[in-house]
Amino acid sequence: MDVIFPFGFPAPTAFYLVLFAITLSIYMVFMHYVIAGSLVLLGRAIRGIAGLPPRTIVADIVRDWLPAILGLAITTGIAPLLFLQILYKRQFYTANLLLFHRFMLLLPALIVAYYMLYLLKMKRRQLQGAGDLMAASIVCACFAYTASAWTENHLLSLNSAGWEAQYESGRWFYRSWEFAPRLIYWVAASFPTLAIVLAWQIHWGRRMDQAVEITTAARRLRAMALDGLAVAALAAIIWLIFLERPWQSAMISALGMPYLTLATLGVIVQGLAWWKVRTEADLTTSRLLLISAGAGAQIVGTVVVREVRRLQSIDLSSLYETHRQASQVGGMGVFLTFFAINAALIVGCVILVARGLAAKQKQPVG
Amino acid sequence: MNIPYYPIQDYGPVMKGMVIGGLGIFHVFLAQMAIGGGMLLCYFERLRQTGRCKNADSFIEGYFQALILVSFVLGAVTGVAMWFTSIQVSPRTIGVMVDEFHWIWATEWTFFCLEVVSGYTFLRYKDVLSDRGRMLVLGAYTTAAWFSLFWINGILSWQLTPGSWTETHSVFSGFFNPSFWPSLLYRTLAAVTIASLSACVVINVAGPPEREDRRELIGYASRFLTPMLLMPILGIWFLASMPPDSRSYVLGGSVVMTMFLNIGVGASLLIGLYGLLALVRGKLYINGYTAALLTTLAFAATGGGEFVREGVRKPYSIRQVLYSNSIKQSEIAHLREVGSVTADPYPLRDGLSYPNDQLRLGAKVFRFQCSVCHTYEGANAVLDLLGTWSLDQKRLNIAQLQRTKPFMPPFSGNAQELEALVQMLTWRDEGMPEAWPTSESRATLDQIKTWLDEVGTTPGPELKKRARVAKVASAEPGER
C-alpha cells in the first residue's frame, strides 16, 4: 500500500485502526513505566544485598508509585484490547487459543507481581536484603513472563500459515526469530519513557527534595534514557535488517515510512535533549516538554510501524465488511459523552489534590 | 456462509463452563465488594465528618486498604481474566458481544479509569484533602464503581433476554432489555450486602482493639444489610423477566438449576435473618469467625446466582442468536447440508489413535459441537449420559437433540457426521478396541436424515412452546 497510514483503508477500518493506535500508545506509557520500573527495583535490591545504599531518589519514587501505575497499566490496556478484537478478531482469538495455558498464566503472574509490589511498598522497613531481592526478582520474572507471552501471542497471530501445525503439535510455545529483537526493543524502549515520567515527577515534587539529590537523580535518568534509546535503536535496526522482504518494503513504503521517520526523530530528539542534562537546573519545563514530545513521537511511530508489519501479514480486506458492520452499531455518542465527563472528573481529582498539597505547604510548621 | 473455525482445546475431565463459571463467581464477588464498599465508605466518611462515629477514620483507612488490596488487584486482573477465559471457551460469543456493544464497553472503560484514579487519589492523598474534597473523591470512586456495574449488566442481561434487539438490532433496545433493571437492582443490593459483611471481617481483623469500639463500627456497617429486605421482590421480578423456558429450569425443570437457585436463596435468607434480627436490632455482637462465615455465605449466594444466570441461557450463549456451542441459529440449515466440520482446518491431535476415518470424523464433530459443555468421561460426561442407549436410540436422540432435551442445541451436521459421532461414542464406550468396522449402511443414513428433517432446525425452547400451544388447542373445552 502506497498511502500513508491509515488513509488507504475504508473509513470504518481506518477509524478503528486509529483508535487502536491511540489507545495502545497511551497504554505503552504505563506499560513502559512498569517494565523499566520493576528492573530499577531489582537493581536497587541488588545494591541493597551488597550493603550499598540507594544511589538516587529514583528507586524510591518508583517503589512508591509502581503499584498504582500497574493498576493504570491494566486499566488502560483494556481499550486497545477492545479495538484489537474488532479489527483482528480471528487472528487474536486463534493465537490466544493456541497458546492456551501458556497465555492464561500471565494472569496469575500479574496478580503475584501486583502483590509483590505492594509488599515492597508497604513493608519497606521490614523487607530488607534477601527478602527485598526475592520480591523484586519475582516482580521482574512475572513481568518478563507477561511480556514474552504477549510478544509470542502477537507473532503467532501474524502467522496464520502455521496455526494448524501449531495446534496439531500441541505445543504451547511459539518461536520466531522476531521474538528476541522485539522483546529487547520494548524492554529497552521502556527506560526512556520511565526516565521522562520520573523527571516530571521529580520536577513537580522539586520542593520536597534537596538540589543535590535532584542533580544525582537527573544524571541517573539521563543515563537510563540514553542507554535505553541506544539499545532500543540497535534492536530496531536488527529487526528491520532481518525482516523478510515484503514486510521490509512495507516499512519503507508510504504506509510505514512516515511513522518509521517519526519514531527515529523521536529517538533523536530525546537523545539530544537528555545529552545536555547535567544538573538539576537542566530539568526545565521546556526541556521536559521537548523530551516528552520526542517520547510521544517514538511511541506513536513504533506503534504504527508494529501495525504496518501486521497489516502486511494478514488479508485485512476480508475484514472490511466486519469493520463496517461494527461501525454502524450505536453507542459512540454515549462513549464520547462519558469520556468527556469522566476525563473532567479525573482532572478534578488532580486539581483537588494539587489544592490540598498547596494548602498543606502553606500551613505553619509545628 | 463464512463460519469461523477456531482451534478448540481439550480441558480433560473439566467442563469448560466450570472454568469460566468459577472465575466469574470470584470476579463478580470482588467487583460487587468494590461497588458496595464505595457506598459504605461514603457513609462512614459522612459519619466521620459529622463526628457521629469516633472510629470512622481508622475504619476508612483500614477498609479502603483492604478494598485496594483485594478488589483493585484481584478484581481488576480477574476482570481481564474473564475476557481471556471467554475467548478460550467461546471466542464467537465474546466476538459477537464486542461487535454489538463495543461502545458500551468503551464507556465502561472510562468509568474504570475514573475508578482507579479516584481510588488511588483517595488512598494516597486523603490526608491532604479537605472534607469536601474527600467526599467528592469518594463519591467519584463510588459512582464510577456502580456505573461499571450498570454498563456490564446491560451486556450480560442481554445475553439472556435480548428483547426487541432481535428485531431492531439497536444497541439500546438490547442494553435496556427486559431483565436489565431487576438484574441491576438485585446486584446493587448484593453489592451493598457483601460490603457490609466484608466490613465486619475487616473491623474484627484490623479494627480498634476495644470491643465496644468494634461493636459501634459493626453496628453502623450492619445497617447496610437492611436493603436486603427488597431482595425477594427483586428476585421475583428477575424470575418474571426471564423467558418461560429458562424460568421453568430453575423452578424444577432442571434439578441442578433449581438446586443452585436454592443455594443462592437459602444463603441470602440466612444472611438476611441474621442481619435483620440480630445486627440491626443491636442484640448481638458479630465476631471475626461469624463475619467470615456470613461472608462465605454471601459468596455461596453469589455462586448460586451466577450459576443460575449462566445456566438458564441454555441452549444459547446469546439467546436466539448463538447456541452454547458457538453455532449461530441461522447457520444450522447450512451446516446440515455441507457438514459441520467439512471446513474445519484443525486436525485431531490424537488422530492416529482412531481405527478408521469415520471415528476421526466423529471425534471432530464432538470437538466442534459438544466439547464446550461435555467431556467424554469427566464432568458432564457424554458417555455416562448415553451409555445405556442402543445405537438407534443414540441416532434418534442426537438427530432430534432439541426434542430430546430442549436445553440442547439442534444437531448441526449432516447424517454422515451424526453416524460418525454415534460410532465414535460407542467405540469409546466399548473400551476403544483396536479394530472397529465402518458403518456404511445407506438405510441407516437415510433414517437419520429423515429424523433430522422431521425435527428441523427449530430450537428446543420454541418446540416446547409450540407443543404447549398445540396441547391447549387440541384439548376439548370440557377438559380445559
Q: Per-residue DSSP letters for A309-366?
A: HHHHHS-GGGGHHHHHHHHTSS-HHHHHHHHHHHHHHHHHHHHHHHHHHHHHHHSPP-
pLDDT the model gives residue B283: 63
Partner-chain contact A330 B6, CB within 8 Å: no
Q: Which of A296, A228, A209, A267 is nearest to A40 (CA)?
A: A228
Whether B128 has its CB under 8 Å from any CB of chain A: the answer is: yes
pLDDT the model gives residue A127: 56
Distance from CA of B133 to the nearest CA of A (A): 6
User: What is the spatial distance between Cα A133 and Cα A138, in angstroms, rounded to a whole number?
Assistant: 9
pLDDT at A123 exceeding the cut of 90: no
Q: Mean pLDDT score of chain B, rounded to an integer?
A: 92
* Claim to verify: residue B310 and residue B345 sit in the same structural domain: no
CA angle B113, B114, B116 (to 5 degrees): 65
Q: Percent of chain B having pLDDT more than 90?
A: 78
User: What is the spatial distance between Cα B247 and Cα B239, in angstroms, rounded to a whole number?
Assistant: 6
Range ranked top by mean pLDDT from A239-248, B351-360, B468-477: B351-360
* Claim to verify: residue B261 and residue B397 sit in the same structural domain: no
Whether B103 has its CB under 8 Å from any CB of chain A: the answer is: yes
For residues A289 and A197, the answer to whether their CB atoms sit within 8 Å is no
Distance from CA of B279 to the nearest CA of A (A): 34
Coil/strand/helix, residue B316 = strand
User: What is the spatial distance between Cα A48 and Cα A137, in angstroms, rounded to a whole number?
Assistant: 13
Partner-chain contact B84 A107, CB within 8 Å: yes
Q: Is residue B30 part of a domain?
A: yes
Q: DSSP of B110-179, one letter per residue?
A: HHHHHHHHHHHHHHHHTTTS-HHHHHHHHHHHHHHHHHHHHHHHHHHHHHH--TTHHHH--HHHHHT-TT
- Please give the DSSP secondary-structure letter assigned to residue B72: I
B479 vs B188, more confident: B188
Partner-chain contact B113 A346, CB within 8 Å: yes
pLDDT at B72 exceeding the cut of 90: no
Partner-chain contact B103 A335, CB within 8 Å: yes
Task: Indicate if the alpha-carbon torsion angle B343, B344, B347, B350 is positive or negative.
Answer: negative
* Claim to verify: residue B51 and residue B191 sit in the same structural domain: yes
Partner-chain contact A97 B129, CB within 8 Å: no
For residues B448 and B419, the answer to whether their CB atoms sit within 8 Å is yes
Distance from CA of B96 to the nearest CA of A (A): 10
Q: Is residue B414 part of a domain?
A: yes
Closest-CA residue of B relative to A118 is B69
Distance from CA of A352 to the nearest CA of B (A): 6
Distance from CA of B323 to the nearest CA of A (A): 19
Nearest Cβ partner of A356 from B100, B105, B125? B125
Query: Which of B262, B294, B323 is the endpoint of a domain?
Result: B323
User: What grid cell was written down for B32?
Assistant: 460487587
Whether B125 has its CB under 8 Å from any CB of chain A: the answer is: yes
Partner-chain contact A68 B106, CB within 8 Å: no
Q: How many residues does chain A have?
A: 366
Cα distances from A158 to residues A255, A306, A312, B65, B411, in angstroms, run 18, 11, 9, 42, 34
Question: Phi/psi at B322 (nearest 5 deg)?
Answer: -130, 130
Average pLDDT over residues A90-94: 95
* Claim to verify: residue B409 and residue B383 sit in the same structural domain: yes
B480 vs A290, more confident: A290
Whether B430 has its CB under 8 Å from any CB of chain A: the answer is: no
Closest-CA residue of B relative to A172 is B9
**Domain containing residue B451:** 330-474
Whether B70 has its CB under 8 Å from any CB of chain A: the answer is: no
Task: Indicate if the alpha-carbon torsion angle B400, B401, B405, B409 is positive or negative.
Answer: negative
User: Angle of helix B76-89 relative to helix B91-125, nearest 10 degrees?
Assistant: 170
Instruction: Quote the pTM value.
Output: 0.93
Best of A78, A118, A325 to disrupt the B interface (most B CBs within 10 Å) is A78
pLDDT at A221 exceeding the cut of 60: yes
User: What is the spatial distance between Cα B436 and Cα B423, in angstroms, rounded to a whole number?
Assistant: 9
Partner-chain contact A352 B8, CB within 8 Å: no
Nearest Cβ partner of B95 from A76, A81, A85? A85
Q: How many residues does chain B have?
A: 480
Partner-chain contact A339 B107, CB within 8 Å: yes
User: What is the spatial distance between Cα B227 and Cα B188, in angstroms, rounded to a whole number?
Assistant: 10
Closest-CA residue of A relative to B173 is A330
- pLDDT digits 0-9 by tens, A51-88: 887 778 899 999 999 999 999 999 999 999 999 999 99
Partner-chain contact B140 A86, CB within 8 Å: no
Q: Residues of B with CB below 8 A from A338's CB?
A: 107, 110-111
User: What is the spatial distance between Cα A192 and Cα B392, in angstroms, rounded to a whole number?
Assistant: 70
First-residue to last-residue Cα distance in chain A: 68
Q: How many CB pairs under 8 A join A and B?
A: 184
User: What grid cell was written down for B370?
Assistant: 459438544
pLDDT the model gives residue B102: 96
Query: Which of B305, B323, B341 is the endpoint of a domain?
Result: B323
Indicate the residue type of B27: H
Cα B344 to chain center, whole Å? 28
Nearest Cβ partner of B140 from A78, A170, A349? A349
Partner-chain contact A168 B76, CB within 8 Å: no
Partner-chain contact A82 B137, CB within 8 Å: no
Q: Residues of A with CB below 8 A from B116's CB?
A: 71-72, 75
Distance from CA of A269 to the nearest CA of B (A): 31
Q: Lowest-pLDDT range, A27-31, A44-48, A159-163, B454-458?
A: A44-48
Average pLDDT over residues B64-76: 85
Closest-CA residue of B relative to A110 is B77
Q: Is residue B479 part of a domain?
A: no
* Claim to verify: residue B319 and residue B336 sit in the same structural domain: no
Q: Is residue B480 part of a domain?
A: no
pLDDT at B413 exceeding the cut of 50: yes
The domain tally of chain B equals 2
pLDDT at A284 exceeding the cut of 50: yes
Helix segments in B275-381, DSSP class H: 288-311, 332-338, 357-365
pLDDT at A175 exceeding the cut of 70: yes
Q: Is residue B141 part of a domain?
A: yes
Question: Phi/psi at A7 (nearest 5 deg)?
Answer: -70, -20
Whether B116 has its CB under 8 Å from any CB of chain A: the answer is: yes
Closest-CA residue of B relative to A332 is B103
Distance from CA of B121 to the nearest CA of A (A): 7
Question: Phi/psi at A315 (nearest 5 deg)?
Answer: -90, 90
Distance from CA of B55 to the nearest CA of A (A): 23
Q: Which residue has the cell 451466577?
A: B306
pLDDT the model gives residue B480: 46
pLDDT at A235 exceeding the cut of 50: yes
User: What is the spatial distance between Cα B245 and Cα A84, in angstroms, rounded to a whole number?
Assistant: 36
Average pLDDT over residues A199-205: 90
Q: Is residue B6 part of a domain?
A: no
- pLDDT digits 0-9 by tens, B47-68: 999 999 999 999 999 999 888 8
User: What is the spatial distance between Cα B375 and Cα B262, in angstroms, rounded to a whole number?
Assistant: 27
Q: Residues of A with CB below 8 A from B346's CB?
A: 163-164, 167-168
Partner-chain contact A81 B83, CB within 8 Å: yes
pLDDT at A265 exceeding the cut of 80: yes
Helix segments in B51-75, DSSP class H: 56-66
Query: Which of B323, B356, B390 is the endpoint of a domain?
Result: B323
For residues B5 and B343, the answer to whether their CB atoms sit within 8 Å is yes
Q: Domain residue spans in chain A?
A: 11-313+339-362
User: What is the spatial distance between Cα B23 and Cα B151, in angstroms, rounded to a whole number?
Assistant: 20
Q: Is residue B297 part of a domain?
A: yes
Distance from CA of A338 to the nearest CA of B (A): 6
* Claim to verify: residue B467 and residue B375 sit in the same structural domain: yes
- Please give the DSSP secondary-structure letter assigned to residue B9: P
* Claim to verify: residue B71 and residue B167 sit in the same structural domain: yes
Q: Lowest-pLDDT range, A96-100, B167-171, B282-286, B398-402?
A: B282-286
Coil/strand/helix, residue B406 = coil
Distance from CA of B23 to the nearest CA of A (A): 12
* Claim to verify: residue B382 and residue B335 sit in the same structural domain: yes
Question: Phi/psi at B375 (nearest 5 deg)?
Answer: -110, 175
Q: Which residue has the cell 467442563?
A: B15
Pairing of strands B316-318, B322-323: antiparallel
Q: Residues of B with CB below 8 A from A83's CB?
A: 102
* Claim to verify: residue B341 and residue B274 sit in the same structural domain: no
For residues B185 and B234, the answer to whether their CB atoms sit within 8 Å is yes
User: What is the spatial distance between Cα B2 and Cα B97, in angstroms, rounded to a whole number?
Assistant: 18
- pLDDT digits 0-9 by tens, B305-347: 989 988 899 999 999 999 999 999 999 999 999 999 999 999 9
Closest-CA residue of A relative to B102 is A82
* Claim to verify: residue B286 and residue B384 sit in the same structural domain: no
Q: Mean pLDDT score of chain A, rounded to an integer?
A: 92
Beta-carbon count within 10 A of B290 CB: 17
pLDDT at A365 exceeding the cut of 80: no
Q: Residues of A with CB below 8 A from B77's CB?
A: 74, 107, 110-111, 114
pLDDT at B470 exceeding the cut of 60: yes
pLDDT at A93 exceeding the cut of 90: yes
User: CATH code at B55?
Assistant: 1.20.1630.10
Q: Lowest-pLDDT range, A104-113, A357-366, B222-231, B344-353?
A: A357-366
For residues B198 and B59, the answer to whether their CB atoms sit within 8 Å is no
Q: Which residue has the cell 530528539?
A: A269
Q: Is residue B10 part of a domain?
A: no
